[in-house]
């Protein structure tokens, strides 16, 4: 497809089949294309409300240096990120997470942020759903300041660490290129970390017409040649202002805006977008549409220091909204459903994870352990608000009583292995593997907007058979 010769229609798309193909990757649907929406919490919420739908996939971002946006609010001018909040808002949706290197790719590759990488992997893995990890997204984007060798090394490190921590079935790794028109062709091989550590090839799709679709086609062909599934990880009709029905050919400042009808906007950007999917139906298995009023976010707003983006909200124009909904009704698109995770090749832990923290432990502590302890008086140190419960000789539950914190996020940690806590019976709790009789360091971290911003508490314990709370 050097030049798009035809514009796809709803009727044509309805007859098309995204054929099953044995691709080499993780969490790849056998049939169909995963539909996901991004890219900030509030834009996703607005889309879900306006379209009266739960997205099958939701997208957000994290910075590796401080893990900003993972379990706390982070807004660098492009909308609010909070992955854990988004996951809680959409508990039955797949999660697509972009991880920024924050200009520190060399230090990341050399291991300086390994603890953060572990926390990231553990947090995402414990969310009990398919997670698509866009590590160092837009790997070749010049604005990211990556270099090829450190990028490839960091990719291999993270891929291996996901498996060492036991989350190989939960987290799929995406190698996403920028598909940026000014980029010279033939550069992808220098950024490729290897078939053995890449689950998906990703690309960005904004204004591919600027280079006759050459860069997105190159990325698609790269995926095909490596037998990898393709994910459109970022897409938006750049330079279109849907609410105003305008388009600018000026990518820098958005000058000389031209009036457009809704039908023109659809035929100029959306129809080629879905045609690209059809042309690559042998490998195309997922897409993320960024449904946002870019102009209202200060990073992208006038005077457009980072280029002119516009307004891509499909719900603001009746014709666009209807066309969008009609197109996605094609059964070959994977929308939200009760069997979504199964379609994506993921078997939810469900009863195990949810049960361990909310069911089994509740039963064990309230019943079995209560019986095992035979009504003995609890130890004196059970009076502490920050403590632990014996679950078994190999499991410990760490908890902290809720003190009325805002608690937009919290982490419960054992020897600096930190996971988001689950609140039950007036306390934040998490169960870890442990060895009876061993010494451990407990840490609890919680957002405290009403006090000091956050609270971080530590204590050292010896794991005994005590059951306190």
Whichever domain contains 224, its CATH number is 3.20.20.80
For residue 207 the two structure tokens come to 């204004």
Count Cβ neighbours within 10 Å for each residue of 116-141 and write b for 16 or more, e otherwise. bbbbbbbbbbbbbbbbbbbbbbbbbb
Q: Could you tell me if 328 and 437 lie in one domain? A: no
Query: What is the residue-wise DSSP string for 117-184?
Result: HHHHHHHHHTT-S-EEEEETSSTT-GGG---HHHHHHHHHHHHHHHHHTT-TTTEEEEEE----TTSP
pLDDT of residue 375: 36
pLDDT of 381 reads 62
Helices (H), 192-285: 214-225, 262-265, 271-279
Let me know whether 439 and 291 are in one domain.
no
* Element of type H or E holding 42: helix 41-51
202 falls within a domain: yes
Residues 319 and 367 in one domain: no
Residues 6+ apart with CB under 8 A from 459: 384, 386, 441, 442
Rounded to whole angstroms, how far apart are CA atoms 175 and 157? 14
Residue finishing a domain among 285, 310, 343:
343
pLDDT tens-place values along the chain, 469 residues long: 333 333 334 444 444 445 455 899 999 999 999 999 999 999 999 999 999 999 999 999 999 999 999 999 999 999 999 999 999 999 999 999 999 999 999 999 999 999 999 999 999 999 999 999 999 999 999 999 999 999 999 999 999 999 999 999 999 999 999 999 999 999 999 999 999 999 999 999 999 999 999 999 999 999 999 999 999 999 999 999 999 999 999 999 999 999 999 999 999 999 999 999 999 999 999 999 999 999 999 999 999 999 999 999 999 999 999 999 999 999 999 999 999 999 999 986 643 333 333 333 333 333 333 333 333 344 456 878 899 999 988 889 999 998 887 777 788 888 877 788 888 888 999 988 888 999 999 999 887 655 556 788 889 999 999 988 7
- Whether residue 303 has a cis bond before it, omega within 30° of 0: yes
Domain presence at residue 32? yes
Same domain, 261 and 374: no
Q: What domain count does the chain have? A: 2
Q: How far apart are CA 205 and CA 193, in angstroms?
A: 22
Per-residue model confidence (pLDDT) at position 449:
58
Residue tagged active-site, from 85, 126, 138, 218: 138
Within this chain, do residues 330 and 429 fall inside the same structural domain, yes or no?
no
Per-residue pLDDT, 424? 83
pLDDT of residue 416: 79
How many Cα atoms are found within 13 Å in the side-chain-facing hemisphere of 68? 11
> Does any domain span residue 63?
yes
142 and 185 inside one domain:
yes
Residue 15: per-residue pLDDT: 40
Residue 36 domain-assigned?
yes
Residue 452: what pLDDT?
A: 55
d(CA 328, CA 208): 22
**Is residue 368 located within the same domain as residue 325?**
no
**What pLDDT, on the 0 to 100 scale, is given for residue 380?**
52
Say if residue 39 is preceded by a cis peptide, omega within 30 of 0: yes
Q: What is the pLDDT of residue 39?
A: 96
In-domain check, residue 1: no
Residue 395 annotated as catalytic: no
Q: Are residues 314 and 428 in the same domain?
A: no
Same domain, yes or no: 211 and 356? no
Residue 84 CB: number of other CB atoms within 10 A?
A: 21
DSSP state of 81: B
pLDDT of residue 451: 54
Burial 405-420 (b: 16+ CB within 10 A, else e): bebebbbbbbeebbbb
Distance CA(242)–CA(247), nearest Å, equals 8
In a domain, 467, yes or no: no
Q: Is 199 in the same domain as 336?
A: yes
Q: Is 218 a catalytic residue?
A: no
Residue 334 and residue 379 in one domain: no
Number of H helices, E strands in the chain: 15, 21
Domain extent for 404:
351-462
- Boundary (domain end) residue, out of 313, 343, 373: 343
pLDDT computed for residue 349 by the predictor: 62
| Catalytic option among 85, 126, 218, 234 | 234
**CA separation for the pair 3, 6 (Å, rounded):** 9
Same domain, 374 and 302: no
In a domain, residue 308? The reply is yes
Q: Which of 2, 120, 95 minimizes the C-alpha distance to 41?
A: 95
CATH number at residue 407: 2.60.40.2450
Q: Which of 320, 343, 366 is the last residue of a domain?
A: 343
Angle at 421 between CA 417 and CA 426, to 5 degrees: 140
In a domain, 69, yes or no: yes
């Amino acid at each position: 497809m050097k030049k798009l010769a035809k514009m796809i229609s709803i009727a044509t798309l309805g007859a098309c089949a995204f054929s099953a193909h044995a691709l080499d990757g993780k969490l790849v649907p056998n049939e169909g294309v995963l539909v996901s929406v991004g890219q900030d919490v509030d834009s996703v919420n607005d889309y879900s409300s306006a379209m009266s739908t739960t997205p099958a996939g939701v997208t957000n971002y994290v910075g590796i240096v401080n893990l900003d946006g993972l379990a706390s609010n982070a807004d660098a001018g492009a909308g609010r990120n909070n992955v854990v909040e988004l996951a809680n808002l959409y508990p039955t949706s797949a999660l697509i997470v972009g991880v920024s290197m924050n200009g520190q790719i060399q230090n990341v590759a050399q291991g300086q942020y390994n603890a953060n990488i572990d926390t990231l992997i553990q947090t995402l893995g414990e969310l009990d759903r398919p997670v698509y990890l866009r590590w160092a997204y837009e790997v070749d984007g010049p604005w990211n300041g990556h270099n090829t060798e450190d990028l490839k090394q960091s990719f291999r490190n993270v891929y291996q660490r996901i498996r060492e921590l036991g989350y190989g079935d939960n987290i799929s790794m995406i190698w996403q290129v920028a598909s940026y028109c000014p980029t010279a062709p033939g550069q992808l091989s220098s950024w490729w970390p290897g078939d053995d550590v890449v689950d998906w090839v990703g690309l960005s799709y904004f204004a591919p017409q600027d280079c006759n679709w050459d860069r997105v086609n190159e990325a698609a062909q790269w995926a095909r040649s490596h037998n990898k599934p393709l994910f459109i990880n970022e897409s938006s009709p750049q330079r279109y202002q849907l609410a105003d029905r305008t388009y600018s050919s000026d990518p820098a400042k958005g000058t000389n805006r031209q009036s457009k009808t809704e039908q023109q906007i659809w035929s100029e950007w959306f129809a080629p977008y879905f045609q690209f999917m059809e042309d690559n139906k042998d490998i195309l298995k997922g897409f993320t549409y960024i449904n946002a009023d870019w102009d209202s976010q200060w990073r992208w707003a006038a005077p457009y220091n980072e280029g002119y983006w516009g307004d891509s909200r499909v719900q603001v124009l009746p014709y666009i909204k209807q066309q969008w909904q009609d197109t996605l009704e094609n059964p070959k698109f994977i929308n939200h459903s009760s069997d979504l995770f199964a379609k994506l090749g993921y078997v939810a832990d469900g009863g195990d994870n949810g049960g361990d923290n909310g069911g089994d432990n509740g039963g064990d502590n309230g019943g079995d352990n209560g019986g095992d302890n035979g009504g003995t008086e609890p130890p004196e140190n059970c009076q502490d608000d920050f403590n632990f419960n014996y679950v078994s000789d190999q499991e410990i539950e760490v908890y902290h009583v809720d003190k009325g914190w805002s608690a937009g996020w919290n982490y419960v940690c054992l020897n600096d292995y930190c996971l988001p806590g689950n609140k039950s019976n007036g306390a934040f709790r998490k169960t870890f593997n442990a060895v009876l009789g061993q010494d451990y360091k407990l840490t609890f971290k919680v957002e405290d907007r009403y006090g000091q911003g956050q609270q971080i508490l530590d204590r050292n314990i010896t794991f005994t058979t005590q059951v306190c709370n």
